[in-house]
Amino acid sequence: MSVLVLVGTRKGLFLLESDGDRRDWSLAGPFLTGWAVFHAVIDPRDRALHAATNNDVYGATVHRSSDRGETWARAEELGLPEDTGLSLEKTWHVEPGRPGEDGRLWLGAAPGALFRTDDGGSTWQPVDGIVRHETRHRWHPGAGGMCCHSIALDPDEPARMYVGISAAGVFRSDDGGETFVPANRGTAADFLPDPSPELGQCVHKLLVHPARPERLWQQNHCGVYRSDDRGESWERLDGNGLPSGFGFPLALDHRDPDAAFVVPEESAENRLTPNRRLGVYRTRDLGGSWELLTEGLPEPAFGAVMREGFASDRLDPAGVYLGTQSGSLFVSPDAGETWLEAASQLPPILSVEASAWS
């Protein structure tokens, strides 16, 4: 069994590798030096690496590697149509297509943009259903820009997918990404005059549970939520053990649809770890209660975790991976019970993804 963790940082990409025990890790990199890697992922279909890469001078793009980072190719065609009046600002998230959808990947970007490739990442076409969405004039950028940071594919229903955009909200497509409808009922937008609007919510991270795809989880600017009906309605889950509803990252346990992990921050105004500790909170009862997991995590600690800096693998028990802005990667090989520091002193970590195979 091999486990590979992709750690995107402000200064390139690092790879950490271990066996199924996930206790001893080797570090390789940096790759893609000079690029801020907002997100990197392994395509499970062919094990190619894909990275959403940004540079202050040279703009936003996507890189891919078929030899585990030794060589990289860059997107040849990626941009927004002139008649939209939009220009590509940042690339945020790469999501591989489903098994059988050869060559297809999705890319979330700012400002509020979704792209699709059908040639493995060489040319990317803007998805009109998002780029030209009829409600776009009501969307607003969050502090990180108007980023499309979450792309969740229903693993069972090829026509269904979801995106999360800050601060436009969650959108669902039931026709393969042609059209999207807002899916925010029950989520709050305390920063708007109408605190329960149709859209405009600041979703921070959205995930679909792979074993029960009608169930979605989201960490929002205004709370933690779960939906059991494909985003038709949402139930708020904080106030029952969580120190705060505010946070960015979110991870799931692939074996347990009733479980989720979050890393709250004190508040939107004070974005620090609560109670002077880096704490992971886990629910195993659908968000009915949350328990603090700290064994092996540092205290006091104030390391912020970005929205993409949290991931889980598909092993049993699930591994959970946490990267901090202060350059540490913490690994839990036992679904959050205990943690070890697999790497430290890396550049600020922006993203973490894990993949395992035998």
Partner 1 sequence: MVLVLLPSLLATEAGGRNRFELDASSVGDALRALPVANLVLDERGVLRPLVNVYVDGVDARDRDGLDTSLTGAEEIRLVAAIAGG
- Going by C-alpha positions, the residue among 10, 49, 6, 21 that lies closest to residue 317 is 21
What's the order of all strands across the beta sheet hosting 113-117? 90-96, 105-110, 113-117, 125-126
Binding to partner 1 by CB under 8 A, coded x per residue (else -) over 213-252, reads ----------------------------------------
- Residue 27 CB contacts under 8 Å (≥ 6 apart), including other chains: 14, 15, 16, 343
76 binding partner 1? (CB under 8 A): yes
Rounded-to-integer distance, Cα 321 and Cα 317, Å = 13
Pick 279 or 347: Cβ nearer partner 1: 347
Rounded-to-integer distance, Cα 305 and Cα 298, Å = 14
Rounded-to-integer distance, Cα 22 and Cα 214, Å = 30
119 binding partner 1? (CB under 8 A): no
107 binding partner 1? (CB under 8 A): no
Q: How many residues does the chain have?
A: 358
Pick 68 or 314: Cβ nearer partner 1: 68
Q: How far is the CB of 79 from partner 1 (least distance, A)?
A: 3
Cα 221–Cα 128–Cα 250 angle in degrees, nearest 5: 25
Whether the bond into 159 is cis, omega within 30 of 0: no
First to last CA, the chain: 4
Site residue total, partner 1 (CB under 8 A): 17
Q: How far is the CB of 45 from partner 1 (least distance, A)?
A: 26
Pick 59 or 197: Cβ nearer partner 1: 59
78 binding partner 1? (CB under 8 A): yes
Segment contacting partner 1 by CB under 8 A, of 16-24, 52-60, 265-273, 326-334: 52-60
Q: How far is the CB of 34 from partner 1 (least distance, A)?
A: 4
φ/ψ of residue 7, rounded to 5: -115, 105
Q: How far is the CB of 348 from partner 1 (least distance, A)?
A: 10
Segment contacting partner 1 by CB under 8 A, of 75-83, 138-146, 174-182, 301-309: 75-83
88 binding partner 1? (CB under 8 A): yes
Q: What is the DSSP letter of 289?
A: -
- With CB under 8 A as the contact rule, the residue among 17, 20, 68, 80 that binds partner 1 is 80
Q: Are strands 59-65 and 125-126 parallel, antiparallel or unpaired?
A: unpaired
Q: How far is the CB of 74 from partner 1 (least distance, A)?
A: 6
Q: How far is the CB of 84 from partner 1 (least distance, A)?
A: 11
Contact 317, 336 (CB under 8 A): no
34 binding partner 1? (CB under 8 A): yes
Q: How far is the CB of 266 from partner 1 (least distance, A)?
A: 25
Amino acid making up residue 153: L
* Residue ranges that bind partner 1, judged by CB under 8 A: 33-34, 55-59, 61, 74-76, 78-80, 82, 87-88
